[in-house]
Amino acid sequence: MSEVAGRMSIQAGAHVLEKAQGGRGMLLGGVPGVAPAKVVIIGGGVVGSNAAQMALGARAQVTVLDRSTQALARLDKEFNGAVKTVYSTQDSLEEYVLDADLVIGGVLIPGAAAPKLVTEAMVKAMKPGSVLVDVAIDQGGCFATSKATTHEDPTYVVDEVVHYCVANMPGGVAMTSTYALNNATLPYILKLANLGWKQALKQDVHFLAGLNVHAGQVTNEHVAKALGYAYLLPEIAVANADA
Amino acid sequence: MSEVAGRMSIQAGAHVLEKAQGGRGMLLGGVPGVAPAKVVIIGGGVVGSNAAQMALGARAQVTVLDRSTQALARLDKEFNGAVKTVYSTQDSLEEYVLDADLVIGGVLIPGAAAPKLVTEAMVKAMKPGSVLVDVAIDQGGCFATSKATTHEDPTYVVDEVVHYCVANMPGGVAMTSTYALNNATLPYILKLANLGWKQALKQDVHFLAGLNVHAGQVTNEHVAKALGYAYLLPEIAVANADA
Amino acid sequence: MSEVAGRMSIQAGAHVLEKAQGGRGMLLGGVPGVAPAKVVIIGGGVVGSNAAQMALGARAQVTVLDRSTQALARLDKEFNGAVKTVYSTQDSLEEYVLDADLVIGGVLIPGAAAPKLVTEAMVKAMKPGSVLVDVAIDQGGCFATSKATTHEDPTYVVDEVVHYCVANMPGGVAMTSTYALNNATLPYILKLANLGWKQALKQDVHFLAGLNVHAGQVTNEHVAKALGYAYLLPEIAVANADA
Amino acid sequence: MSEVAGRMSIQAGAHVLEKAQGGRGMLLGGVPGVAPAKVVIIGGGVVGSNAAQMALGARAQVTVLDRSTQALARLDKEFNGAVKTVYSTQDSLEEYVLDADLVIGGVLIPGAAAPKLVTEAMVKAMKPGSVLVDVAIDQGGCFATSKATTHEDPTYVVDEVVHYCVANMPGGVAMTSTYALNNATLPYILKLANLGWKQALKQDVHFLAGLNVHAGQVTNEHVAKALGYAYLLPEIAVANADA
Amino acid sequence: MSEVAGRMSIQAGAHVLEKAQGGRGMLLGGVPGVAPAKVVIIGGGVVGSNAAQMALGARAQVTVLDRSTQALARLDKEFNGAVKTVYSTQDSLEEYVLDADLVIGGVLIPGAAAPKLVTEAMVKAMKPGSVLVDVAIDQGGCFATSKATTHEDPTYVVDEVVHYCVANMPGGVAMTSTYALNNATLPYILKLANLGWKQALKQDVHFLAGLNVHAGQVTNEHVAKALGYAYLLPEIAVANADA
Amino acid sequence: MSEVAGRMSIQAGAHVLEKAQGGRGMLLGGVPGVAPAKVVIIGGGVVGSNAAQMALGARAQVTVLDRSTQALARLDKEFNGAVKTVYSTQDSLEEYVLDADLVIGGVLIPGAAAPKLVTEAMVKAMKPGSVLVDVAIDQGGCFATSKATTHEDPTYVVDEVVHYCVANMPGGVAMTSTYALNNATLPYILKLANLGWKQALKQDVHFLAGLNVHAGQVTNEHVAKALGYAYLLPEIAVANADA
């Protein structure tokens, strides 16, 4: 799903940059003689890499910021130097965001709220009509001014900066996302069907990690703690299931 | 302007392919494991070449049809074989349009109405949710079902096929288009300012070709005929201007 | 050797597609205005990736099928989206094989017979003159209709589909294969020469894994079992060698 | 047809370089760690440019020789410097041909016998098992040792160098060539059908240039001279046809 | 020679940007995480296109300015959008030059002094340690602060900006330049040798255009005028030579 | 820093190949019609890969030698076959070095003197004016004839071969190198500042590995042995620090 969201973020950003959507009225790639839009991508993971592919493909001028030199070196190789990779500090972040026409927020920390990297002051200082796309919105968003929107009403404006913060972005391209999800889950479904649930839980720790409740006993530690139940190791619950 | 419209047509088509706009819910480039959209571009001129750049950049599967083998060979070289180039016949046109997810109509014949290459029957036979973008709409459109729309209300549906037929597409990215227009006209404006209108008309046939009326005499043949006035050769009108 | 076989499979397929070899009489890459051949590569490992390199290089239209989304994502990056990557299911396999002009079978499961992914029914339904190249033939082949052939008489026809199933394909380019083999084995030979066999066996588990018999005792478990001999751990056999 | 022949020449050369066909047993592109074959293409026109595309695509090391610096600059741009372009002199030709694994002869001078650029002495000095493909064979060939062969028996050996000199190479991929020919001729056929032969001859000098005999009078100068007939200007013959 | 000078200008600029040569101490392409140098190329002709090739190859961030939209469109195609093309106005020139780390002056107007596009004020406003390379120096230079230097002592500093203004830049790579010159002149030398000077002058207007004096009569108009001699049409002089 | 040195080595080599620096007077990439320089890079690690990027970018003909087939396969993928990868043996090394115009020595074995891969005899047999750049000079150099030089006086000549052996090459582009170093060290500095030295040493083994002396006790084994002190495990020293 990160691949879908990363690729879609540029398509969304390009659309919102049109005059009728409140943007600066710029074509992402410009035309010969007219400079292209400056796209700044915060985060060089799966979202950032897929967004960079699309932005480069549209002939924009692309900069990716990240705090991992390894991630930046990987992107430099992937794109043969065609994206500018910049180590992310408070300084560099501010410099590039303020100069950008389109900013993609793609910082996702698994299991944690996304950090608010772009502050209200930075948004206020951005160019009128510039666009923010927050791909991290499902985890709270990585811009201070982000709040979730829908595919039906995708944007709002703060300090003349257009925000696109659609929750569940991949839902907008349901056909592509459904196939992608099928591909990712099919091997597990086949295993479940072939082995039955008991064997599947025993043979594959990924299944086991997904077991929450078994025979009246809570086998997920977080759930048990949150609801005040006793916690049973899933390995033991499954072993009992055999008897 | 053809460059702007050609590049913008893919951005528009990608947006309309989203579920919320009535499209099939496909991501133009798919993701690894999920096949990309099939983009068919009718016409391999400036519009078609720029549309192909953007569609390839978005990782779609791109086919360009044209009736000039020279145009197709030029595109093959430009894209190093990455676009499929197909000689346009009634047969091949029908085969590719019916299989397409997104069709770009980019056939512009200077000074003539665009030919209606995609018939109503073909539209009826297309996949539900597929998208037509008619870049030739300012010259009447090259799909039988095209009628002009606006940036505010850009699409309508015929036989489950979404039509995007915005007149004056470049107006949607006004900043880019204005600069592009400036670049194209600036040399003429400078000449006019430096030489004065008399010298400019004498030294540059492009100016002369734009002269419609001079000192009460019509110097444009079409205008003279249409309005029933006598026609004066602009060369003569300008020569008289000196006396 | 998988690199050699993968690259060679396209060269073989292109040749067999010629009319004189029984193929459809198609040029792999077509020419401008004439659509290229559709090449379907089953398996996205070393064979598939090298075949895809060559097929793309010849300007064919290339689809790779695999059951690993990771493998597909890796190929998508390697080829910057220029190959279509499709998750392999019975359905998608049938759809793409039936539409193909050239199918490369590159599914190799180490130490196991290759799975018969293309059935007799699918072969029967393929286009007359289309071509199958079975790179997995040394492990039994991955088409139901495959049987091993030689470089001297490389092809046969089943249901109007030409089969190229040469065993030991790399033998056809002996000079390249010999150098490739030398490069892969030279470090081991140098080690053996420098350390002597006893030290080499002790210091490098790769050597040890290759020891079958020592001082009259069988040190390979499979061989011992198959022939009814006692099995001695190679570590122990080598330790004894020192005494 | 030059596009077909140029692309096919590399496919033929790669096949003949295999051991079973008498070649050196090299894979055109080598594999990592094993150097690729050296492909030398004589002539940088349509044949040479298409051959270079395919040879580069197969990851060979490609040098193109030509006597036109413009042609070489064009190829340098087309391939972004990935082919080595060398000005053709007797010296440079000998240096590169003697070092080559595969030589493509693609020098075609319209309406003239191809020049014999590679001499018998040069062939004698080439490496055993190296391969010559003569795309100019339909005009006599551009190697001194060339003589026409067929798709059924395509090669012969002179001084340990394998010669592939198939006349009518495009005939080997009949389907592709037929479509290519259709695309090139269809516009003329449509014109002929729509206008009738008289109007077609009058409106289009290409038709007129193809008129050999009309109403018993020879309208082709070469034919008239060769057969001892009077020659009538085709323009006059056609004008008379109207009366 | 423009190709040599254009390619060499980037190599010179990269060297001068090193700390020991007085430059900013920047690597043209940066490294992952450190932004590359900004290279601004004034003029999109042969010099500019070759400079852009090298600068892109070194992974710099490249902008080309020119006053011809056709030239910019050609560069956009040549580099697939990887260089930023900007229409040159006084404003855009100033904006990009002041922001640049390396500026290449490649504006050559045949037979005229190069225009002084970069003024003293602009040089004064550039960043300390930035570098100017004036490829037009043999025609007077296109920076106001340019004066010719030599390969032995190639640079000088004005307002903390390092100037590289070596006259006859191609002389620095004498081997390459000599071959390039040979390739360009050889066809003429062969013609002269084969035909003799009289026939060569008659058959080839390029030779005739180079004739300055014949049989005591001046056949070059500029020379005749400058030295006060009578001028004889070279065609007539040559015709007399026959008698 | 290896990235900086690798990229800079080609820039240095290109400069030294100029006539005025004693080189052959060749342009790295040649021009159309004039063959490019042959660049041989010994070692396919970070230095070699970055040098190859720059050499390819300058349109040179690039060969990389390495003794790891994995490294060569990785480079083949990274550059899509555009560099020639050759398995390094004494034979192949000699063959390619003797034929080279520019040799980059990039073999760095962490914590060991670089091996002398290019012997005095090989240097003597190289072409006059060819260039050696020794990136391994800080570890003793990998050419037998290498001795360290400075940015102020970077080269010397042995047997007509120009040697560039500047110690601390990255110092020549101080601005780029400083940023690169900051990016690599900043995360550690922040950790140290946030946690204090005790916690930092406890939580991060990379810090611990850098501890040499603590509270009068030597915690680095090599230092202890070399100076005759007792050695204390850093873990124990740090644990005591808490008490």
| The predicted structure's pLDDT at residue C149 | 97
* Model confidence at F120: pLDDT above 70: yes
Cross-chain Cβ contact E67/B187 below 8 Å: yes
| The predicted structure's pLDDT at residue D34 | 95
DSSP string, F144-204: TT---B-SSS-EEEETTEEEE-BTTGGGGGHHHHHHHHHHHHHHHHHHHHHHHHHHHHHH-
Question: Pick from D67, D77, D87: which is nearest to E78 by CB?
Answer: D77
* Model confidence at F243: pLDDT above 60: no
The Cα–Cα gap between E179 and F123 comes to: 26
Over the stretch E103-156, which tens digit does the pLDDT of each residue have? 999 998 766 778 899 999 999 999 999 999 999 999 899 999 999 999 999 999
Closest among B30, D58, A169 to C76, alpha carbons compared: B30
Cross-chain Cβ contact F32/D84 below 8 Å: no
CB A155 within 8 A of CB A149: yes
Rounded (5°) CA angle C215-C218-C223: 150
| Residue from F10, F77, F183, F188 to probe the interface with A (highest A Cβ count within 10 Å) | F183
* Model confidence at E59: pLDDT above 60: yes
Over the stretch E190-209, which tens digit does the pLDDT of each residue have? 888 988 888 888 888 888 88
Task: Give bridge partners of residue F157 from the DSSP assignment.
Answer: F162
Nearest-CA distance C77 → chain A (Å): 7
Tokens 């012969």 identify what position? D156
The Cα–Cα gap between C218 and E117 comes to: 85
Question: Pick from F33, F34, F85: which is nearest to D33 by CB?
Answer: F85
Over the stretch A161-180, which tens digit does the pLDDT of each residue have? 999 999 999 999 999 999 99
* Model confidence at C154: pLDDT above 70: yes
**Can you say whether residue F159 is alpha, beta or left, with left for phi > 0 and alpha for psi between -120 and 50 degrees?**
left
Within 8 A by CB and 6+ apart from E14, the residues are E28, E58, E102, F11, F14
Cross-chain Cβ contact E33/A81 below 8 Å: no
The Cα–Cα gap between B96 and B103 comes to: 9
CB C171 within 8 A of CB C151: yes
Residue ranges and CATH numbers for the domains of chain E are: 2-167 (3.40.50.720), 188-242 (no CATH)
DSSP string, C16-57: HTSGGGTS----TT-BTBBPPPEEEEE--SHHHHHHHHHHHH
Over the stretch B24-63, which tens digit does the pLDDT of each residue have? 999 999 999 999 999 999 999 999 999 999 999 999 999 9
Cross-chain Cβ contact F35/D86 below 8 Å: yes
Q: Which of A116-120, A201-205, C13-17, D94-98 has the lowest mean pLDDT?
A: A201-205
Which chain C residues touch A184 with a CB distance below 8 Å?
Answer: 69
Closest among D129, D216, D76 to C174, alpha carbons compared: D129
Query: Tokens for C41?
Result: 């590569």
* Model confidence at D98: pLDDT above 70: yes
Cross-chain Cβ contact C32/B84 below 8 Å: no
| Residue from D4, D79, D179, D183 to probe the interface with B (highest B Cβ count within 10 Å) | D183
Q: What is the mean pLDDT of residues F169-184?
A: 92
Q: Which of A110-114, B208-212, F40-44, F148-152 has the lowest mean pLDDT?
A: A110-114
* Model confidence at B19: pLDDT above 80: yes
* Model confidence at B226: pLDDT above 70: yes
Which chain C residues touch F80 with a CB distance below 8 Å?
Answer: 53
Nearest-CA distance B45 → chain C (Å): 15
| The predicted structure's pLDDT at residue F109 | 77
- Other residues' Cβ atoms within 10 Å of the Cβ of residue D204: 15
Which residue in chain D is spatially nearest to C4 when comparing CA positions? D31
* Model confidence at B182: pLDDT above 60: yes
Q: What is the mean pLDDT of residues F197-210?
A: 85
The Cα–Cα gap between B162 and A201 comes to: 47
| Residue from B59, B62, B79 to probe the interface with C (highest C Cβ count within 10 Å) | B59
| The predicted structure's pLDDT at residue F225 | 84
Parallel, antiparallel, or unpaired for β E155-158 and E161-164?
antiparallel
Within 8 A by CB and 6+ apart from B110, the residues are none
Nearest-CA distance E223 → chain A (Å): 42
Rounded (5°) CA angle B47-B48-B52: 120
Task: Give me Rg for the CA atoms of chain F.
Answer: 22
Within 8 A by CB and 6+ apart from E190, the residues are none
* Model confidence at B111: pLDDT above 80: no
Residue E238: band (very low, low, confident or very high) from pLDDT cuts 50, 70, 90: confident
The Cα–Cα gap between F197 and F188 comes to: 11
Task: Give bridge partners of residue D155 from the DSSP assignment.
Answer: D164
Question: Pick from B78, B183, B186: which is nearest to E77 by CB?
Answer: B78
The Cα–Cα gap between E118 and E90 comes to: 9
| The predicted structure's pLDDT at residue C208 | 86
Within 8 A by CB and 6+ apart from D102, the residues are D13, D14, D17, D28, D37, D38, D39, D40, D60, D130, D131, D133
Over the stretch D120-155, which tens digit does the pLDDT of each residue have? 999 999 999 999 999 999 989 999 999 999 999 999
Query: Tokens for E175?
Result: 């081997």
Cross-chain Cβ contact A27/B7 below 8 Å: yes
Closest among C151, C45, E21, E70 to F8, alpha carbons compared: E21
Query: Tokens for C8?
Result: 């060679």
SS in 3 state form for chain B? CHHHHHHHHHHHHHHHCCHHHCCCCCCCCCECEECCCEEEEECCCHHHHHHHHHHHHCCCEEEEEECCHHHHHHHHHHCCCCCEEEECCHHHHHHHHHHCCEEEECCCCCCCCCCCCECHHHHHHCCCCCEEEECCHHHCCCECCCCCECCCCCEEEECCEEEECECCHHHHHHHHHHHHHHHHHHHHHHHHHHHHHHHHHHHCHHHHCCCCEECCEECCHHHHHHHCCCECCHHHHHHHHHC
* Model confidence at A200: pLDDT above 90: no
Nearest-CA distance E107 → chain D (Å): 20
CB D74 within 8 A of CB C76: no
Whole-number average pLDDT of chain C: 92
Which chain C residues touch F89 with a CB distance below 8 Å?
Answer: 186
Which chain E residues touch F174 with a CB distance below 8 Å?
Answer: 19, 25
CB E55 within 8 A of CB E114: no
| The predicted structure's pLDDT at residue A243 | 52
The Cα–Cα gap between E126 and E120 comes to: 10
Q: Which of E74-88, E92-106, E185-199 has the lowest mean pLDDT?
A: E185-199
Residue E166: band (very low, low, confident or very high) from pLDDT cuts 50, 70, 90: very high
Tokens 């741009």 identify what position? D77
Instruction: Specify the 3-state DSSP secondary structure of C208.
Output: helix
Indicate the angle between helix axes F2-16 and F174-203, nearest 10 degrees: 160
Higher pLDDT, D220 or D82: D82
CB F74 within 8 A of CB F68: no
Task: Give bridge partners of residue F33 from the DSSP assignment.
Answer: D86
Query: Tokens for A210?
Result: 């997904």
Instruction: Specify the 3-state DSSP secondary structure of C210.
Output: coil
Residue A242: band (very low, low, confident or very high) from pLDDT cuts 50, 70, 90: low
The one-letter code for the residue type at E18 is E
Closest among F157, F164, F118, F98 to F137, alpha carbons compared: F164
Parallel, antiparallel, or unpaired for β A155-158 and A131-134?
unpaired
Residue D111: band (very low, low, confident or very high) from pLDDT cuts 50, 70, 90: low
What is the DSSP code (8-state) at residue E37? P
| Residue from B1, B74, B176, B183 to probe the interface with E (highest E Cβ count within 10 Å) | B183
Q: What is the mean pLDDT of residues C73-92?
A: 94
| The predicted structure's pLDDT at residue D220 | 86
* Model confidence at F173: pLDDT above 90: yes
Residue D243: band (very low, low, confident or very high) from pLDDT cuts 50, 70, 90: low
Question: Pick from D36, D59, D81: which is nearest to F29 by CB?
Answer: D81
Distance, first Cα to last Cα, chain C: 40
CA torsion sign, C22 to C25 to C27 to C28?
negative
Of all residues in chain A, the percent with pLDDT exceeding 90 is 69
* Model confidence at F111: pLDDT above 80: no
What is the DSSP code (8-state) at residue A60? -
Q: Is D3 exposed, middle or buried (0-12, 13-18, 19+ CB in 10 A)?
A: buried
Query: Tokens for F83?
Result: 């560099």
Nearest-CA distance D184 → chain B (Å): 7
Which chain B residues touch D53 with a CB distance below 8 Å?
Answer: 80-81
Q: How many CB pairs under 8 A join D and E?
A: 12
Distance, first Cα to last Cα, chain B: 40
Which residue in chain A is spatially nearest to F183 when comparing CA positions? A87
Question: Pick from A14, A32, A180: which is nearest to B3 by CB?
Answer: A32
Question: Pick from C33, C59, C76: which is nearest to B86 by CB?
Answer: C33
Nearest-CA distance C84 → chain A (Å): 14
The one-letter code for the residue type at B82 is A
What is the value of pTM for the model shown? Answer: 0.88
Whole-number average pLDDT of chain B: 92
Q: Which helix (H) or strand (E) holds F86?
A: strand F84-87
* Model confidence at E243: pLDDT above 60: no
* Model confidence at A199: pLDDT above 80: yes
The one-letter code for the residue type at B63 is T
- Other residues' Cβ atoms within 10 Å of the Cβ of residue E224: 17
Do you know the residue count of chain F? 243
Which chain B residues touch E67 with a CB distance below 8 Å?
Answer: 187
Q: Which of B52-66, F80-94, F129-143, F206-220 has the lowest mean pLDDT?
A: F206-220
* Model confidence at A153: pLDDT above 90: yes
Q: What is the mean pLDDT of residues F232-242?
A: 82
| The predicted structure's pLDDT at residue E111 | 66
Nearest-CA distance C117 → chain F (Å): 28
Q: Which helix (H) or strand (E) holds D104?
A: strand D102-105
